[in-house]
């Protein structure tokens, strides 16, 4: 009997849990836990009568290791799927270590309070040593490698779409199509329209922190940092059409640079419409993206958290979002001594996702791979002691599962390359 403990019941968790429930042969029992147990109960109710998996709920504050350990002892899961926020990654990993339970997440650790002097000292040292200034990086979680190995448990980091599927696409290209991959361009296109002048498709705080930061890419063994939105390209996406896209820093670049042997350049581009960019710049200019508390009429308010309260809940965008996403990777490299170019991507329709699970495609394209990565470990296919990113395992069963569980992919030879 396999039991998963899912931490979080937001947009991504909502999809992942429904997909676990559809895959009840692998997920026999699912416990859903977050700080607001009523939200977990609502999800449980939605699933009642639709699955043979046993569903339970619990309350937990995942910032608190002792609470997590207590819950894990009570629930006795085989694996913990962390779909709370990146702020909780380390506390949940600590609890998994203490209880010797496998761990899975979709986003690498990010510090909530970037003014914490202890964190800041380590961060500033890293900025100098590595050459990129993003608030998130893998070093915090890679530091758990030895302890996870010794405990005989697996941590699978970043099994969403990007990071996640894009790195599995890379491992698949490496295994089947290339002797050497030289360049990787990860293209994340959201051609969806929700009708609001401004809204984010996943947690606004995490999303806006990511998008307003400096960009960077990996080239010839080091990071090249750019100003936010400095590098702009247009690309004609299958199923979506021509879109403007901008170079961002993204976490999978860091792990792919280590794990893909001959790679010379890795870039990440995301599409944004002009309305989104204008709103974001304006909010940034007036200080609404600030992460430091501000005193207001006797209360301490963190501007970006207040903004989050004002913006539409990403989970509510499902019924109004129309259009498609197209996310994938363009590879160049060598096979049998000849140059080769290849594009592997998935096209996902917002309304199709809504019909199936009541969510838009961003939550869907993250929640499905979260379920698949967890299943890979539960089924013993990706079970190895230590801390890993997805490209370190055999991509074939994961690629098969993507086709089966709603994210079929396409391969295009000789695609148009990004200049």
- What SS3 state is found at 373? helix
Whether 245 contacts 235, CB under 8 Å: yes
The angle, 0 to 180 degrees and rounded to 10, between the axes of the packed helices 11-22 and 350-357 is: 60
Print the binding letters for residues 193-222 with ligand NDP: x by CB under 6 A, - otherwise: ---------xx--x----------------
User: What are the two backbone dihedrals, phi and then psi, of residue 119, each rounded to the nearest 5 degrees?
Assistant: -65, -45
Answer for which of 4, 6, 13, 156 binds ligand NDP (CB under 6 A) is 13
Q: Which stretch binds ligand NDP (CB under 6 A): 29-37, 256-264, 274-282, 317-325?
A: 29-37
Nearest alpha carbon to residue 276 among 228, 338, 348: 228
Nearest alpha carbon to residue 184 among 102, 118, 267, 261: 267
9 binds ligand NDP (CB under 6 A): yes
Taking the complex as a whole, the smallest distance from the CB of residue 339 to ligand NDP amounts, in Å, to 30
Cα dist from 240 to 46, 60, 188, 322, whole Å: 32, 40, 12, 11
C-alpha atoms less than 13 angstroms from C-alpha of 316 in its C-beta half-sphere: 7
314 binds ligand NDP (CB under 6 A): yes
318 binds ligand NDP (CB under 6 A): no
86 binds ligand NDP (CB under 6 A): yes
Q: Which residues pair with 242 in a beta bridge?
A: 236
State both tokens at 327: 């996310």
192 binds ligand NDP (CB under 6 A): no
Q: Which is nearer to ligand NDP, 340 or 402 (CB)?
A: 402
Q: Which is nearer to ligand NDP, 10 or 215 (CB)?
A: 10
Which 362-401 positions form the footprint of ligand NDP (CB under 6 A)?
366
163 binds ligand NDP (CB under 6 A): yes
Taking the complex as a whole, the smallest distance from the CB of residue 32 to ligand NDP amounts, in Å, to 9
Interacting residues with ligand NDP (CB under 6 A): 7-13, 34-36, 39, 60-63, 83-86, 88, 106-107, 158, 160-164, 202-203, 206, 314-315, 366
């Amino acid at each position: 009997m396999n039991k998963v403990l899912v931490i979080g019941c937001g947009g991504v968790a909502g999809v992942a849990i429904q997909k676990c429930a559809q895959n009840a042969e692998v997920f026999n029992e699912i416990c859903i836990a977050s700080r607001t147990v009523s939200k977990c109960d609502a999800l449980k109710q939605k699933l009642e009568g639709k699955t043979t998996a046993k569903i339970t709920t619990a309350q937990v504050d995942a910032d608190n290791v002792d609470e997590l350990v207590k819950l894990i002892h009570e629930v006795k899961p085989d694996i913990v799927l962390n779909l709370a926020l990146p702020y909780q990654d380390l506390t949940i990993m600590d609890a998994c270590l203490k209880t010797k339970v496998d761990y899975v997440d979709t986003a690498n650790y990010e510090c909530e309070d970037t003014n914490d002097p202890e964190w800041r000292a380590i961060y500033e040292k890293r900025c100098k040593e590595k050459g990129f200034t993003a608030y998130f990086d893998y070093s915090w979680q890679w530091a758990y490698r030895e302890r996870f190995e010794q405990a005989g448990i697996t941590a699978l980091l970043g099994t969403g779409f990007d990071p996640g599927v894009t790195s599995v696409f890379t491992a698949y290209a490496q295994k089947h199509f290339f002797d050497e991959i030289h360049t990787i361009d990860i293209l994340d296109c959201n051609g969806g329209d929700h009708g609001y002048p401004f809204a984010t498709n996943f947690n606004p705080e995490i999303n806006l922190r990511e998008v307003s930061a400096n960009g960077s890419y990996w080239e010839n063994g080091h990071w090249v940092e750019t100003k936010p939105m400095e590098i702009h390209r247009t690309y004609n996406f299958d199923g979506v059409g021509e879109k403007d896209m901008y170079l961002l820093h993204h976490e999978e670049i860091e792990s792919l640079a280590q794990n893909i042997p001959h790679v010379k350049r890795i870039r990440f581009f995301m599409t944004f419409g002009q309305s989104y960019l204008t709103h974001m710049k304006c909010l940034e200019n007036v200080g609404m993206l600030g992460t430091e508390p501000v005193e207001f009429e006797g209360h301490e308010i963190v501007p970006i958290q207040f903004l989050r309260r004002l913006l539409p809940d990403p989970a509510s965008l499902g019924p109004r979002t129309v259009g498609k996403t197209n996310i994938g990777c363009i590879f160049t490299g060598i096979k049998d001594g000849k140059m080769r170019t290849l594009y592997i991507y998935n096209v996902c329709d917002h309304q199709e996702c809504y019909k199936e699970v009541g969510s838009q495609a961003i939550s869907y394209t993250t929640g499905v791979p979260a379920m698949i990565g967890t299943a890979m470990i539960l089924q013993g296919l990706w079970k190895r002691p230590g801390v890993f990113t997805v490209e370190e395992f055999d991509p074939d069963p994961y690629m098969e599962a993507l086709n089966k569980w709603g994210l079929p992919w396409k391969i295009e030879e000789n695609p148009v390359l990004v200049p």
